[in-house]
């Protein structure tokens, strides 16, 4: 499949010594592969990530080269528009080049198994067809401009809880039909040059050393021959991962593939030199695909920040098609400028925050971020009187100390003492540290083992202020030499601490105005059983908030504002610390502690024209839904967030987004409820995928409709559409040719998505009622009609029969259902279908 090995690669491989070939099998550093300059082998640079080429600096501190922030995959999936995904891939390739990289670590394409999945926003959909089709276009867009795509995480990376070690027990049918299917589609339609393995185990074996995934299916049945790399810190063995087909351990320097460990495995017969050759050959071929050999001795060019106007326009267009209107009672929306002139508009909640991306490796330092407050001002200008109130506490952790603190040198800030493990005295002391927090990635600090932060705090008021603390490893907090907090255990996921912070319990301490308090934080690294990238590194934080700020009644102020305004818009959602890599969602309800739900409920009680704009990458509870007039789901729409939201609210853009996930009313109705994130036995977290193939709408189709808040494929418009006169025929080659007439029955131009589902007419418990097999987004002028043709193959009706280990279509009658969501089927055609086994997919 795809790229053919050249004589150059083979000749080069033969010229390398065994040691040199081994050196190619792990990264040089965090982002680059290992060069062998004497033989003309360059390093090539990788970059995160799926919604923007971040560059080489983690964005935890909002640092690094600025980059364009594109909509999260769940937002782009809501467009149901593959052509936009292709253009996103093109733009991401251009962005990757500005960071001196030739390999982009994306797209992320695991399925949304459960609404609490912490990294769902990075992935496209609960449906493998939709995810695979859109991801394939991103891959094509990247690679046609010379940048390698790295589809990830292969496979079944659907949760963050104990993601490094969790063992997922999945049937082969579910694995093939749901969790591997998006990868299969992307590989067969776009031939990505790289695949990244997942952290987790599948049926007892880590993904990076899984013979079934990497040998039997990926390289065997699918015939793919690109490079397989580990997730960062996701290599778990030497010989097993090499034998299974993991070409590249990332990042470097290597933990498993030292010359000594690989040579020993060769000598003991656990590895062959042929395997080393195969792995090294794949590394060399990737270098050739990205044209690395053209300038083998040149280092990557310096990173640049290029704010491309065409990328700005694309981001706004994708967001405009991805935002979804979920409710619009009495056609309250759009709020046209001429209708709002001279009126008062309350912007509440997170209106002044731009929720443009989730947390973790998908985050970046954007060129800019447009908040809803800014976007709505851009649209309405001075014609509307805007009023704002926050209305709810939404922080996850108390902010660190940053004021009224003096270090040991007598100057503002904190003093940092760095120790080796013996603790015989600090090796180094640094003054002027700004916050009461310490990251394991803070430059030269990282190599030190034990760290002490200290400062003198002089309160400006007498009160019992609030504190909280957590650490990667054991941590103690002293005030005037008294232990006020102690964490004895290590963090379950050090990366979770880095990206979003570990859960912290708040406590109070009585401070007296004008009195000096000596505060000291001591922390050791996480070392016991830690296999993450941050093993052996310390990290900790001390949060602090004054009592009056912590206990301030924000909701009453917001209610007063809303009562005085003609329309109230409440902006709800997840900031990056609430929805992030490294942790699953804390709750199905919006954070914090129900504060946002209470805010919406209170505002709706005083203003009948209450609109909610929600920015999350997942479904959330909406207990207030019956009380409000309209809901817009904004996802994480990238750096143009506020402008895109304003486009929809004002009617400048007619919403055409459709849900790529199902939206339950209660978390108890989710298909994986009760077996997410699993249960522990003898220290091993195991999660059973007992729902099998009944993920998302495949499950919700089988329960009462009133238990579903919004069905898969659903979305409203400022116009209306109808589907009529559907027909289906099968040709001599087994292909099904379908047609349906689509009409815009309203008064404004807009777009809908024709969705074609197929299922057996005779329902049975072993199979879904219907499955998405094709879709098409259609743009129509008022009263315009178009005929949409969709072709599907016999294999698109197949299921994986575990008894015979074959893809099978059973003979019988099948319903071809044309609709605008799983719950809005407008035309059904029934056809007799001949069965078939051993289909070649």
Do residues 138 and 115 touch, judged by C-beta distance below 8 A? Answer: no
Q: What is the pLDDT of residue 531?
A: 53
- Where does 761-821 show beta strands of DSSP type E? 771-780, 785-792, 799-801, 806-808, 812-821
Q: Where are the alpha helices (DSSP H) in 389-540?
A: 494-499
412: helix, strand or coil: strand
Cβ neighbours of residue 362 closer than 8 Å, sequence gap 6 or more: 48, 49, 50, 51, 52, 72, 108, 121, 122, 581
Catalytic, 481? Answer: no
Compute the distance between CA of residue 150 and CA of residue 158 in angstroms, rounded to an integer. 18
The yes-or-no verdict on residue 841 having pLDDT over 70 is: no
> 670-716: per-residue pLDDT in tens?
999 999 999 999 989 999 999 999 999 999 999 999 999 999 999 99
pLDDT in tens, 479-531: 999 999 999 888 877 777 777 777 888 999 999 999 999 999 998 876 644 45
Rounded mean pLDDT of 547-551? 92
Q: Concatenated DSSP letters for 115-138?
A: TT-TTGGGS--SSHHHHHHHHHHH
> Looking at the DSSP assignment, which residues form a beta bridge with residue 824?
821
Instruction: Report the DSSP beta bridge partners of residue 450.
Output: 419
Lowest mean pLDDT among 23-32, 133-142, 434-443, 503-512: 434-443
Is 75 within 8 Å of 318 (Cβ atoms)?
A: yes
Contact 183, 217 (CB under 8 A): no
pLDDT in tens, 393-408: 999 999 998 888 999 9
Query: What interhelical angle do 309-322 and 82-98 show, nearest 10?
Result: 150
Strands 205-206 and 201-202 turn out to be: antiparallel
Burial of residue 382 (number of CB atoms within 10 Å: 0-12, 13-18, 19+): exposed
The Cα 579–Cα 358 span in angstroms is: 6
Q: Maximum distance among all alpha carbons in the chain?
A: 89
> Which two structure tokens, joined as six digits, stand for 367?
């060129």
Q: How far apart are the C-alpha atoms of 819 and 653, rounded to whole Å? A: 23
Question: Among the residues of 505-594, which ranges form H helices?
Answer: 547-550, 554-563
The arithmetic mean of pLDDT across residues 463-492, rounded, is: 92
Between CA 824 and CA 753 the distance in angstroms is 12
Domains, the chain = 323-396+552-652 (3.40.50.1700), 405-435+440-538 (2.60.120.260), 719-833 (2.60.40.10)
What mean pLDDT value characterizes the chain? 93
Tokens 């055609």 locate to: 829
Return the closest-CA partner of residue 402 out of 416, 412, 393, 417: 412
Report the distance separating Cα 829 and Cα 740, nearest Å.
11
Q: Sheet harboring 679-681: ordered strands across? A: 205-206, 201-202, 167-169, 684-688, 679-681
pLDDT at 59: 56
Would you say 624 and 323 are in contact if contact means Cβ atoms under 8 Å apart?
no
Cβ atoms of 301 and 47 within 8 Å: the answer is no
**Spatial distance between the Cα atoms of 25 and 279, rounded to a whole number of angstroms:** 7
Across-strand partners of 752?
778
Q: Determine the Cα–Cα distance for residues 542 and 558; give it in Å rounded to an integer.
A: 30
Could you say which of 231, 584, 701, 796 is catalytic?
231
**Plot region of 340 (φ>0 → left; ψ -120 to 50 → alpha; else → beta):** alpha
User: Minimal CA–CA distance to 405: which of 445, 436, 429?
Assistant: 436
Whether the pLDDT of residue 835 is over 80: the answer is no
| Residue 535: pLDDT band with limits 50, 70, 90 | low
**CB 372 within 8 Å of CB 613:** yes
Q: Enumerate residues 6+ apart whose C-beta is below 8 A from 337.
A: 379, 380, 383, 650
3-state secondary structure 144-200: CCCCEEEEEEECCCCCCCCCCCCEEECCHHHHHHHHCHHHHHHHHHHCCCEEEECCC
pLDDT at 473: 86
Phi, psi of 367 (to 5 degrees): -55, -40
- The SS3 of residue 432 is strand
Residue 795 DSSP SS3: helix
Buried b (16+ CB within 10 A) or exposed e, 16-29: beeebbbbbbbbbe
Assess whether pLDDT exceeds 70 at residue 252: yes
How far is the CA of 304 from the CAs of 67, 308, 467, in angstroms?
9, 12, 40
pLDDT in tens, 411-429: 999 998 888 766 677 878 8
Calpha distance 754→777 (Å, rounded)? 6
Q: State the pTM of this model.
A: 0.95
């Amino acid at each position: 499949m795809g790229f053919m090995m050249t004589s150059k690669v083979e000749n080069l491989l033969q010229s390398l010594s065994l040691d040199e070939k081994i050196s190619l099998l792990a990264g040089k550093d965090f982002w680059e592969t290992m060069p062998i300059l004497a033989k003309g082998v360059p390093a090539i640079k990788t970059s995160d990530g799926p919604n923007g080429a971040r560059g080489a600096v983690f964005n935890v501190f909002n640092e690094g080269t600025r980059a364009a922030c594109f909509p999260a995959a769940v937002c782009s999936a809501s467009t149901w528009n593959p052509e936009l995904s292709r253009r996103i891939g093109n733009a991401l390739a251009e962005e990757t080049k500005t960071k001196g990289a030739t390999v982009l670590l994306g797209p992320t394409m695991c399925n949304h198994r459960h609404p609490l999945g912490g990294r769902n926003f990075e992935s496209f959909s609960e449906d493998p067809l939709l995810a695979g089709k859109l991801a394939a276009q991103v891959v094509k867009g990247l690679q046609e401009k010379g940048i390698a795509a790295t589809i990830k995480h292969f496979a079944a990376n659907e949760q963050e809880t104990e993601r490094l070690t969790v063992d997922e027990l999945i049937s082969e049918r579910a694995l093939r039909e749901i969790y591997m299917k998006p990868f299969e589609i992307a590989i067969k339609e776009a031939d990505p040059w790289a695949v990244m393995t997942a952290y987790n185990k599948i049926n007892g074996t880590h993904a990076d050393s899984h013979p079934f995934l990497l040998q039997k299916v990926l390289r065997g049945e699918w015939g793919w021959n690109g490079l397989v790399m580990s997730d960062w810190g996701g290599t778990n063995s030497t010989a097993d991962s090499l034998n299974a087909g993991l070409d590249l351990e990332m990042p470097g320097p290597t933990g498993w593939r030292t010359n000594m460990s690989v040579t020993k495995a060769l000598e003991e017969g656990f590895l062959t030199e042929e395997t080393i050759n195969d792995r090294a050959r794949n590394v060399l071929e990737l270098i050739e695909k990205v044209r690395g050999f053209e300038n083998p001795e040149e280092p990557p060019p310096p990173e640049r920040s290029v704010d491309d106007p065409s990328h700005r326009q694309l981001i706004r267009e994708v967001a405009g098609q991805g935002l979804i209107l979920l409710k619009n009672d009495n056609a309250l929306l759009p709020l046209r400028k001429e209708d709002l002139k001279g009126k008062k508009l309350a912007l509440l909640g997170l209106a002044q925050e731009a929720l443009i991306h989730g947390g973790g490796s998908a985050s970046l330092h954007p060129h800019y971020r447009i908040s809803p407050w800014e976007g709505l001002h851009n649209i309405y200008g001075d014609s509307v009187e805007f009023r704002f109130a926050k209305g709810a506490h939404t922080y996850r952790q108390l902010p660190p100390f940053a004021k009224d603190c003096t270090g040991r040198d007598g100057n503002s800030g904190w003093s940092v003492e760095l120790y080796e493990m013996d603790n015989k005295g600090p090796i180094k002391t640094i003054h002027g540290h700004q916050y009461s927090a310490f990251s394991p990635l803070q430059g030269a600090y990282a190599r030190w083992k034990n760290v002490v932060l200290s400062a003198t705090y002089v309160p400006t008021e007498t009160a019992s202020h609030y504190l909280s603390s957590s650490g990667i490893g054991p941590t103690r907090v002293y005030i005037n030499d008294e232990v006020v907090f102690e964490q004895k255990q290590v963090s379950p996921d050090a990366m979770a601490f880095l990206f979003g912070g570990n859960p912290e319990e708040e406590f109070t301490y009585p401070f007296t105005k004008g009195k000096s308090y000596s505060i000291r934080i001591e922390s050791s690294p996480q070392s016991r059983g830690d296999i993450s990238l941050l093993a052996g590194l310390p990290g900790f934080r001390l949060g602090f908030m004054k009592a009056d700020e912590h206990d301030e009644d924000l909701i009453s102020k917001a209610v007063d504002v809303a009562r005085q305004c003609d329309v109230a818009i409440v902006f709800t959602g997840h900031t990056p610390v609430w929805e992030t890599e490294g942790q699953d969602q804390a709750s199905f309800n919006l954070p914090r502690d129900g504060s946002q739900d209470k805010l919406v409920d209170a505002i709706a009680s005083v203003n009948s024209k209450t609109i909610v704009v929600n920015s999350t990458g997942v479904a959330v509870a909406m207990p207030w839904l019956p009380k409000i007039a309209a809901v817009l789901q904004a996802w994480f729409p990238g750096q143009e967030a506020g402008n895109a939201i304003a486009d929809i609210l004002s009617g400048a853009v007619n919403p055409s987004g459709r849900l790529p996930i199902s939206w339950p009313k209660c978390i108890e109705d989710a298909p994986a409820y009760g077996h997410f994130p699993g249960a522990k036995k003898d220290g091993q977290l195991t999660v059973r995928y007992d729902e099998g193939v009944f993920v998302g709408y495949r499950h919700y189709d089988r329960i009462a409709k009133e238990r579903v808040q919004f069905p898969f494929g659903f979305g409203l418009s400022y116009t209306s559409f109808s589907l009529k006169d559907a027909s289906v025929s099968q040709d001599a080659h087994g292909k099904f040719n379908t047609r349906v007439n689509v009409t815009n029955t309203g008064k404004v131009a807009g777009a809908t998505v024709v969705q074609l589902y197929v299922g057996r007419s005779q329902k049975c418990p072993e199979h879904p009622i219907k499955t998405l097999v094709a879709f098409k987004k259609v743009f129509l002028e008022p009263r315009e009609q178009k005929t949409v043709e969709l072709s599907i193959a016999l294999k698109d009706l197949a299921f994986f029969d575990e008894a015979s280990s074959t893809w099978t279509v059973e003979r019988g009658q099948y319903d071809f259902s044309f609709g605008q969501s799983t719950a809005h089927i407008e035309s059904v055609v029934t056809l007799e279908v001949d069965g078939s086994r051993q289909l070649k997919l």
